Amino acid sequence: MARGFVSEGRRFLRDPALLGAVVILWLLLALFVLYPLFELLVRAFSDEGKFTAQPLLDGIADPSNRAAFVNSLILATAVGVMGTLLGFLFALTATRAGLGRRWLTLLDATALLPLVSPPFTTSIAIIFSFGPKGFISHHLLGFDNVSAYGFWSTALAETLTYFPIGYLTLRPILAAIDPNLEEMAFSLGGSRWRIFRTVTVPLCVPGFANTFLLLFAASLADFATPLILAGNSFAVLPTQAFLQITGMFDFKGGAVLSLMLLVPAAAVFLLQRYWVGRRVYVTVTGKVGQRSRTRAMAPGASVGLVVACALVAIVIVYFYALLVYASFVVAFGANETFTWRHYGVIFTEGLPAIRDTLIIALVGMPLGGFYGVLVGYLLARRRFPGRRAMEIVTIINYALPGTIVGIAYLMAFNDPPIALTGGMLIIVACYVFRYSPTGIRATVALLQQIDRSLEEASSSLGAGSGETFRRVTLPLIVPAFFAGLGVVFIRSMTAISATIFLVSISWTLITVRILENMTELALGPAAAFSVFVIVVVFAVVWGLSAVLARFRAPTAGAAARSLLGG
Amino acid sequence: MVSMNRYAAAGAAVLLALSAVPASAQGTVNVYCSVQVEWCTLAANEFQKATGIKVSMTQKGSGETIAQLKAEAQNPKGDVWFGGTGDPHLQAAEENLTEAYKSPKLAELHPWAVKQNTDSGGKTVGIYAGALGYGFNTELLAKKKAAAPACWADLLKPEFKGEIQMANPNSSGTAYVAIATLVQLMGEDKAFDYLKKLHANINAYTRSGTAPMKAVARGETSVSISFVHDGVTEALAGFPVKTATPCEGTGYEIGSMSIVKGARNMANARKFYDWALTPEAQKLGAQAKQFQVPSNKATPVPPEAPKFADMKLIDYDQAKYGKSAERKRLISRWDNEVGNLPKP
């Protein structure tokens, strides 16, 4: 064992390309992942240079912080439960209702729409629908004085935004249950409902737990929705931390709130990843049955499922239609004359934000794609000391709520020695290190399916590890490269929770402008910006799918899926 | 691989095209702007036209701007802070975040604008003034058969339950002016009793000081606590909005301007500052449909602007309530006693 380790270390030292790549990666990870987190902890645990837990204890004792903590957990639980149910509904319909291919594609498209949209779209649509002058609450139902702010609207918006995560998690699980199993139970005389209860659902239990935790984490980290919809009476941790920093510039208060958020977020992440996420029930029946239409679903139940899904899909489509409509009228609910004005605004006043966002996205894209395949390759194919540690460190910024990452970056890079705030680099770095784990996972998944002998052949013919990577491995993992690059691009266009702390007078983002517009109640330009982002993102997703489709490797599909799931 | 190269080339071309901002020989000036975005944009464009100096502008509330100035104290990114209520400007002066500058235009200004300058040791100056009051939606009030509020006491009436909006003082200078006004009018403890009672009638504390008036215009709330000139803007845009100033007396803001300490473009910052005090620049406010009273005596007062002579103004102690410790104390008292109260 010891000898093996020594020889591994020696081989590592003798391979300059590998050594160089690992050292550079560690330097980058130390700078952009570990150092900011360290700074955050230092701020939370020190007072005038002395180590103390007092600020944290004060923060926990503060009744408004405690209320925000409890509210965050309540909201996350509600979104977890409702999102899992909705995700299960969609997954069940997709796998059991016998829909045709075209309908399935349509179902997929509506379900994925919320995942690739900028963060405020559902919130804006809910205000347009259920606000005091809302389309549904005021125009259709005639209510005059309703409030669209509070727990229920926030929970509804987050459920609609994040349930696709549940759908993507549960669908493969349902699809993997051998239909013969249900068929057998059926021919043994079980009623359909009984089979559903005693066979189908139990087999999904680990999937439910997994989905619940993923949704719980997504809601816990969500910043944009509660900022718009929760209002004063239902404060949650990420928004409290944001107001603490932007309103008061209270770094310590922000750090303490971040820490209060970090504990449940880290707990849920670890639970999901290392315990629940690994439990999958596989059904072993010897012969894999032909995926024929299963009789385990009564025709009536199928129709019910399809109708329920269609209703949800209609709500989603309606929300987006409302958004498009609102972007073309003077003031939704008050003056609905057609106008191009809002698009005029975003392409004149808003142009710097659009330009900055596109530059940041285009710079971050290749960097993120390359970083993803490089790390993925090293983790999957190379042996070097500290490999496990590197795997964990690369995932930290992805696992933590964006608010924490943003505040940590602000604290670490605001003052010399490393003053990066105000520049573009800090925003690009934030995106690359936060959103590349999707590319890393896609690369690892692809490489696990490619035989090592190809690379070994290259090495034995005398190529160094750098050349082997470039000429043999890289072409094989191009799909993962594009997937990683796509995720970084999409998130650069749509994310806000971390980068809201990092924008500056010279570099701003469309999502931040949307938020400013929302704050000023300029809902028209906010809607127009959102429509613009959705159009760009869809064009890019479509383009990338076309690129990925050219690599007819069976794994390209998996990479394409990870593009959306990330 | 050929196609990939083509994509890369296209990407590079897009990047180049996007980053090809015309570089100006006159240099640039970075402006934090705390008035309404239409005015900010107009001022930036006109200054650029007049001087050839490129303006980078970010619009955010005065409460948030001072937080940003503190954050950037070691490494300033902005040059000038244009507009927003006077208290945070005075606070910035006190905390040494802004730079003293004696503009040659000072002699042309109204005494209240000059007083702001002397109070702050020359670090800020008044550019406009506006009184605090209410905005209300005439259609909604008529439907509810409620009388328009005329006094602070009226806002506590049960018919306004859940009908009033004001901003959150943590992010908005407007809301802080409202609290400081009540404290000066009633005495501190009575003012907080009042705010606690008012809480029952408030439906939202918005982040931005101008949002409540817009909510009134859109019919989302009946009444707002706002600067009255914001109501004129909405009424001119065709919304059923009217304004009133409280019968007991009301406070006012002196919208101010400061130069950021250690500004990287100091010469251009001063040029912008001098320019912003001229009648030509101050006329832009009315052009952007903002109807505060301008600080240069020679600037024509727009006829739509609310007249100070018609209001009962208190002798607002800008110096005292612009103190950083006082602001912090009052806001945290508000947070603890009012903002954190559960919804009734």
Q: What is the DSSP string of A52-76?
A: -SHHHHHHHH-HHHHHHHHHHHHHH
pLDDT digits (tens, 9 = 90+) for A486-523: 888 988 888 888 888 888 878 889 998 888 888 777 88
- Does the beta-carbon distance from A521 to B215 stay under 8 Å? yes
Q: Structural domain of residue A548, as residue ranges?
A: 11-52+339-566
Pairing mode, strands B252-260 and B80-82: antiparallel
Q: Do A268 and A350 belong to one domain? A: no
Q: Do B73 and B216 belong to one domain? A: no
Q: Do B90 and B149 belong to one domain? A: no
Q: Do A159 and A194 belong to one domain? A: yes
Q: Do B62 and B92 belong to one domain? A: yes
B95 touching A, CB under 8 A? no
Element housing A354 (H / E)? helix A351-381
**Separation in Å, CA of A197 to nearest CA in chain B:** 42
**Peptide bond just before A179 cis, omega within 30 deg:** no
Grade residue A280 by pLDDT with cuts at 50, 70 and 90: low
Grade residue B190 by pLDDT with cuts at 50, 70 and 90: very high
Q: Do A350 and A419 belong to one domain? A: yes
CA dihedral over A95, A101, A104, A109, signed as positive or negative:
positive
B238 touching A, CB under 8 A? yes
Q: Do B277 and B237 belong to one domain? A: no
Q: Which chain A residues have a beta carbon less than 8 Å from that of B71?
A: 249, 410, 414, 421
**CB-CB neighbours of A177 under 10 Å:** 20
Q: Average pLDDT of B299-322?
A: 86
Question: A68 to chain B: nearest residue by CA?
Answer: B340
Question: B240 to chain A: nearest residue by CA?
Answer: A334
Q: Which chain B residues have a beta carbon less than 8 Å from that of A516?
A: 59-60
- Write out the DSSP string of A139-184: IIT--SS----SHHHHHHHHHHHHHHHHHHHHHHHHHHS-HHHHHH
pLDDT the model gives residue A565: 40
Which residue shows structure tokens 């903590």? Answer: A69
A266 within a domain of the structure (yes/no): yes
Grade residue A543 by pLDDT with cuts at 50, 70 and 90: confident
pLDDT the model gives residue B51: 92
- Which contacts qualify for B37-46: CB closer than 8 Å, 24 or more apart? B37/A349, B37/A520, B37/A522, B38/B288, B38/B289, B38/B290, B39/B83, B39/B284, B39/B285, B39/B288, B39/B290, B40/B82, B40/B83, B41/A349, B41/B288, B42/B284, B42/B287, B42/B288, B43/B82, B43/B276, B43/B281, B43/B284, B46/B281, B46/B284
Q: Which amino acid is residue B336, in one-letter code? A: N
A60 within a domain of the structure (yes/no): no
Half-sphere exposure at residue A213, Cβ-oriented, CA atoms within 13 angstroms: 21
A88 within a domain of the structure (yes/no): yes
B293 within a domain of the structure (yes/no): yes
Instruction: Report the interhelical angle of A54-61 vs A63-96 (nearest 10°).
Output: 70
Find how far residue A179's CA is from the centre of its chain: 32
B48 touching A, CB under 8 A? no
The DSSP symbol for A261 reads H
B22 within a domain of the structure (yes/no): no
- Write out the DSSP string of A404-421: HHHHHHHHHHSSTTS--T
What's the farthest any 2 CA atoms get from each other in chain B? 77
The mean-pLDDT minimum among A550-564, B78-92, B328-342 falls in: A550-564
Grade residue A297 by pLDDT with cuts at 50, 70 and 90: low
Q: Do B138 and B242 belong to one domain? A: yes
Nearest CB partner across the interface for B56, out of A335, A414, A506: A506
Could you tell me if B69 and B260 are in contact, meaning their C-beta atoms sit under 8 angstroms apart? yes
CA dihedral over B119, B125, B131, B136, signed as positive or negative:
negative
Q: Do A134 and A44 belong to one domain? A: no
Q: Do B97 and B236 belong to one domain? A: no
Residue A84's closest CA among A156, A172, A195, A159? Answer: A159
A563 within a domain of the structure (yes/no): yes
Q: Which chain B residues have a beta carbon less than 8 Å from that of A519?
A: 206-208, 211
- Does the beta-carbon distance from A334 to B239 stay under 8 Å? yes
B284 within a domain of the structure (yes/no): yes
Q: Do A263 and A366 belong to one domain? A: no
A214 within a domain of the structure (yes/no): yes
Could you tell me if B301 and B52 are in contact, meaning their C-beta atoms sit under 8 angstroms apart? no
Q: Do A241 and A128 belong to one domain? A: yes
- Does the beta-carbon distance from B78 to A358 stay under 8 Å? no
Q: Do A496 and A360 belong to one domain? A: yes
Q: Average pLDDT of A535-549?
A: 82
The mean-pLDDT minimum among A10-24, A134-148, B166-180, B256-270 falls in: A134-148
Q: Do B38 and B147 belong to one domain? A: no
The mean-pLDDT minimum among A30-39, A198-207, B225-234 falls in: A198-207
Residues 6+ apart with CB under 8 A from A566: A435, A437, A438, A487
Q: Do B109 and B204 belong to one domain? A: no
Higher pLDDT, B281 or A381: B281
Q: Do A38 and A79 belong to one domain? A: no
Q: Pick from A240, A242, A360, A519 the residue to mutate for testing the B interface (most B CBs within 10 Å).
A: A519
What's the whole-model pTM score? 0.81
Q: How far apart are CA B87 and CA A463, in angstroms?
A: 69
Q: How far apart are CA A523 and CA A144, in angstroms?
A: 20
pLDDT the model gives residue A350: 84
Q: Which chain B residues have a beta carbon less than 8 Å from that of A132?
A: 219-221
Q: Do B98 and B201 belong to one domain? A: no
Grade residue A15 by pLDDT with cuts at 50, 70 and 90: confident
**Separation in Å, CA of A457 to nearest CA in chain B:** 23
Domain count, chain B: 2
Q: Do A21 and A117 belong to one domain? A: no
A413 within a domain of the structure (yes/no): yes
Q: Do A492 and A371 belong to one domain? A: yes
CATH code of A472's domain = 1.10.3720.10
Q: Structural domain of residue B207, as residue ranges?
A: 131-252+325-339
B317 within a domain of the structure (yes/no): no
The mean-pLDDT minimum among A69-73, A287-291, B251-255 falls in: A287-291
Domain count, chain A: 2
A66 within a domain of the structure (yes/no): no
B17 within a domain of the structure (yes/no): no
B164 within a domain of the structure (yes/no): yes
What's the farthest any 2 CA atoms get from each other in chain A? 79
A290 within a domain of the structure (yes/no): no
B315 within a domain of the structure (yes/no): no
CA distances from A248 to A209, A231, B180 (A): 39, 19, 18
Q: What size, in residues, is chain A?
A: 566
The yes/no answer to whether this complex scores an ipTM above 0.90 is: no
Q: How far apart are CA B218 and CA A148, in angstroms?
A: 15
pLDDT digits (tens, 9 = 90+) for A40-71: 888 888 777 778 888 788 888 877 788 889 99
Q: Do A140 and A220 belong to one domain? A: yes
Which residue shows structure tokens 């020594």? Answer: A6
Question: A330 to chain B: nearest residue by CA?
Answer: B237
Pairing mode, strands B293-294 and B124-137: antiparallel
Q: Do B108 and B34 belong to one domain? A: yes
Question: B163 to chain A: nearest residue by CA?
Answer: A145
What are A170's strand-pairing partners? none
Residue A354's closest CA among A182, A526, A529? Answer: A529
Q: Do A415 and A393 belong to one domain? A: yes
Q: How far apart are CA A353 and CA A344, in angstroms?
A: 14
The DSSP symbol for A400 reads S
CATH code of B161's domain = 3.40.190.10
SS3 state of residue A529: helix
What tokens appear for A309 in the block? Answer: 């899904």
Q: Which amino acid is residue A50, in one-letter code? A: K
- Write out the DSSP string of A455-479: HHHHHHTT--HHHHIIIIIHHHTHH
Q: Do B83 and B152 belong to one domain? A: no
B114 within a domain of the structure (yes/no): yes
Q: What are phi and psi of B59, to 5 degrees?
A: -105, 125
Q: What size, in residues, is chain B?
A: 344
Q: Do B153 and B194 belong to one domain? A: yes
Q: Pick from B218, B233, B332, B333 the residue to mutate for testing the A interface (most A CBs within 10 Å).
A: B218
Pairing mode, strands A50-51 and A46-47: antiparallel
Q: Average pLDDT of A337-353?
A: 87
Q: How far apart are CA B87 and CA B317, in angstroms?
A: 10
What tokens appear for B242 in the block? Answer: 């009217």
